Structure 1
Amino acid sequence: MNQESIIWNYIRSNHVLSLTGYHNGDIWAANMFYAVDYERKRLLFMTSEINTRHGAMMLANSHVVGTVSDQTRDVAQLKGLQYAGKVTIVNTKDAMDIYMQQFPMAKQHQETLWMITFTELKLTDNSAGFGTKYTWNIE
């Protein structure tokens, strides 16, 4: 299996990301549920662009970094993803359908739908040998 497939299998096996935004010297992180748009190699998530600190930052600066991680205490099984990318608001029916299929309860809390388009992905997978790294650089 190639590195890209290994990374995307890991992304598809999880559903919560951390995301960090930055603007004018201010930095802020948030955790959010995400849905995978595997065909387009992007993640979809919902958050307010006006009522959240990270949302306002993302409007001002679309460059973000973050992580996806397992919650295991066994270091030999630890896996975690680091990413860099750009976020944009997405208003397409297909993107909304993908997100709502995974999180139907979001219909009651209609926030803004965003997508992350990755520029870099790095997965550390100790289950494949301590410190094993897989990378995918898009740019």
Structure 2
Amino acid sequence: MNNEKQLREICHFINQERVLTLSVAAEGVVWSATCFYQFQKDQMALYLMSDINSRHSQLMLKAPMVSGTIISSASSMMSMKGVQYQAHITPLSDEHEEQARNFYYERYPISRVMAFKIWRLQLREVKLTQRRMGVKRCLHWMCTQRLEVFSQ
């Protein structure tokens, strides 16, 4: 269900967190990684930095549909909040990479010393689950339009 209030709440959560888990599967191999990200709300896209030679990057090049989670650092099972997502991930190049890299540096200036690839994770589906005092609440967002996906 896509409504503006739910989308605002989902975006607020994604924007306040910093770390995601990323899971990928290709050719019978499944692997996960943890990455810092920068969120671009108007495109429902996340940008992350990763070594092109890492296992998860090599798998993403073969199978760009990925899934993952973003979770708050809750201290109790009675008050948890997190996102599950499905997305299409693409390594960026040329002017798209430079723009995304500068955007990423705004949040993580120390990453300027790293020579890793910038990836664009285009969200396709998001489920925000929140548990307060044992009561579970879920919000859903699905991409309903074709968003521009940058490629190499």
State the TM-score bracket (shorter-chain normalisation).
over 0.9
Which position in structure 1 is the counterpart of 2:45?
Answer: 42
Cα pair 1:37 1:95 within 8 Å, conserved: no
TM-score, length-normalised on structure 2? 0.85
Give a deviation string over 1:98-135, Cα, whole Å, max 9, x none: 10111111111120000110110000011397210000
Q: Does 1:26 align with 2:26?
A: no
Which residue type is aligned with residue 134 of structure 1? L
Residue ranges of structure 1 left out of the alignment (5+ in a row): none
Q: Percent identity?
A: 26
Q: Could you say what secondary structure the match of 2:12 adopts? A: helix
Q: Distance in 1 between matches of 2:134 and 2:6?
A: 15
TM-score, length-normalised on structure 1? 0.93
Q: Could you say what secondary structure the match of 1:78 adopts? A: strand
- Across the aligned residues of Structure 1 and Structure 2, the Cα RMSD in angstroms comes to 1.5
Which position in structure 1 is the counterpart of 2:5?
Answer: 2
Residue ranges of structure 2 left out of the alignment (5+ in a row): 145-152
Q: Could you say what secondary structure the match of 1:57 adopts? A: helix
Q: Distance in 1 between matches of 2:123 and 2:133?
A: 24
Q: Distance in 2 between matches of 1:62 and 1:128?
A: 37
Q: Which runs of 4+ in 1 moved over 4 A?
A: none
Q: Could you say what secondary structure the match of 2:39 adopts? A: strand
Which residue type is aligned with residue 100 of structure 2? A
Alignment of 1:25-104 (within 5 A): 25-49=28-52, 51-91=53-93, 92=96, 93-104=98-109
Aligned length: 138
Q: Distance in 1 between matches of 2:115 and 2:108?
A: 11
Q: Which moved more, 1:24-33 or 1:92-101?
A: 92-101
Q: Distance in 1 between matches of 2:88 and 2:134?
A: 31
